[in-house]
Amino acid sequence: MARYLVTGGAGFIGSHLAETLLKHGEQVTVLDNFSTGKEENLHFVDKLSLPSGGFTLLKGDIRDLSSCHESCRGVDFVLHQAALGSVPRSIDDPLTTNEVNIQGTLNMLVAARDAKVKRLVYAASSSAYGDVPSAGIDETEVRPKVESQVPNPRSPYAVSKLAGEYYCRVFYKVYQLETISLRYFNVFGPRQDANSHYAAVIPKFISALLDDHPPTIYGDGEQSRDFTFIDNVVQANLNGCSAPPETSGSVFNIACGERTTLNTLYEDLCQIMDTKQEPHYASPRPGDVRHSLADISKAAGVLNYSPSVTTRAGLKQTAQWFVDNCSMKTI
């Protein structure tokens, strides 16, 4: 039995990691300041029969080094998910994004090093790629993004997540702290917040359809993303903890390896939910990239990563969760 620290563990991704680890019989500490995380995301803890000390919840901020040190005591693995997400939020408030995502990550690396943690797995972001040439001559030809490409961040958020990757690599090379960075591609699933001003597209679409309101699509809707269901991200994190030491300092794409346009995504959700609202199209947002598609062969070969849930199956599960938890409708 190992002790895991999940930073941002009351958030969307972190709570799924904590739940899976506890169900596997591991010990879990969650560190969260509840600025975006929610206590209700941790209600599963009450339904589990846990041994004494099996779960610890610490309210603290990764910008506070002492909180990071406290949370790392006795920890074997750190799954560092805490961050301020959202490209638009970072454009509105780049200073706070920098403080949380860069200084906060540096604090966690220092605390993990000092506590002699075995490995830190870092939640990186596909936004680091920006619009590096992934598109061919026409839009039907979109090349997957590979880890060897030179990053080209287009927003403060992307810069902040890329800086975290570089810090992880440096802490491995300089201090021998084992680190792995996972570049997430558009993660979605149950517990994702639909009410935030900076909510991601899938919960926004589902929420609008449940409320019989037309959703907003920024641009022409033909921009595409590699949507990744939460279960696949959980698998990648656990595999990252058990990967061989020689993987340390490396970066891996975590996605499904298939792209979906926003128009197709919306049509699929309308079909799944048996409803239809004509979307409203608005001007493209600053900082957004046109296409995002991952090459996941490196993660498959090194981390034994294999997406277990397709995008379509994940959309069905996610829509059903929103119906069960946020609406009186059925699908």
Instruction: Give DSSP secondary structure letters for 215-261.
Output: PEEESSS--EE--EEHHHHHHHHHHHHHS-GGGTTEEEEES-S--EE
Structure confidence at residue 247 as a pLDDT band (50, 70, 90): very high
pLDDT value for 326: 75
Using alpha carbons only, how large is the chain's radius of gyration in Å? 19
pTM to 2 decimals? 0.93
**How distant, in Å, are the alpha carbons of 84, 124, 307 from that of 158?**
11, 9, 24
- Distance between CA atoms of residues 202 and 194, nearest Å: 8
- Assess if residue 321 is contained within a domain: no
- Distance between CA atoms of residues 301 and 50, nearest Å: 35
pLDDT value for 231: 98
3 state DSSP class of 191: coil
Structure confidence at residue 140 as a pLDDT band (50, 70, 90): low
- Assess if residue 195 is contained within a domain: no
**What percentage of the chain carries pLDDT values higher than 90?**
82
- Assess if residue 287 is contained within a domain: no
Least confident of 163-167, 238-242, 277-281, 311-315: 277-281
Given a cut of 70, whether residue 133 has pLDDT beyond it is: no
Residue 201 is which amino acid?
A: V
Q: Domain range for residue 68?
A: 3-188+230-258+293-309
- Assess if residue 108 is contained within a domain: yes
Q: What is the CATH number of the domain that holds 36?
A: 3.40.50.720
State pLDDT tens for residues 13-50. 999 999 999 999 999 999 999 999 999 999 999 888 78
- Assess if residue 243 is contained within a domain: yes
Given a cut of 60, whether residue 330 has pLDDT beyond it is: no
DSSP string computed for 270-286:
HHHHT---PPEEEPPPT
Burial pattern 72-87, b for ≥16 Cβ within 10 A else e, equals beebbbbbbbbbbbbb
For the chain, the domain total comes to 1
State pLDDT tens for residues 156-184. 999 999 999 999 999 999 999 999 999 99
- Assess if residue 201 is contained within a domain: no
DSSP string computed for 57-85:
EEE--TTSHHHHHHHHTT-SEEEE-----
Given a cut of 50, whether residue 134 has pLDDT beyond it is: no
pLDDT value for 36: 92
Mean pLDDT taken over the chain: 92
Least confident of 34-38, 83-87, 286-290: 286-290
**Residue in 157, 167, 172, 305 annotated catalytic:** 157
Give the pLDDT mean for 86-94.
91
- Strands of the chain (E only): list them: 3-7, 27-32, 55-59, 77-80, 119-125, 178-184, 187-188, 216-218, 224-225, 228-229, 250-254, 260-261, 280-282
Give the pLDDT mean for 219-228.
93
Q: What angle do CA 78, 157, 309 make, to 5 degrees?
A: 60
The two beta strands, 260-261 and 224-225, are antiparallel
- Distance between CA atoms of residues 202 and 187, nearest Å: 9
pLDDT value for 329: 52
Structure confidence at residue 135 as a pLDDT band (50, 70, 90): very low
pLDDT value for 263: 96
Question: Which region, left, alpha or beta, applies to residue 48 given φ > 0 means left and ψ of -120 to 50 means alpha?
Answer: beta
pLDDT value for 131: 77
Given a cut of 70, whether residue 138 has pLDDT beyond it is: no
The two beta strands, 228-229 and 260-261, are unpaired
- Assess if residue 103 is contained within a domain: yes
3 state DSSP class of 120: strand
For this structure, is 198 an active site residue? Answer: no
Structure confidence at residue 139 as a pLDDT band (50, 70, 90): low
Structure confidence at residue 198 as a pLDDT band (50, 70, 90): low
Give the pLDDT mean for 271-290.
88
Give the pLDDT mean for 79-103.
95
Residues 6+ apart with CB under 8 A from 323: 210, 273, 329, 330, 331
- Assess if residue 45 is contained within a domain: yes
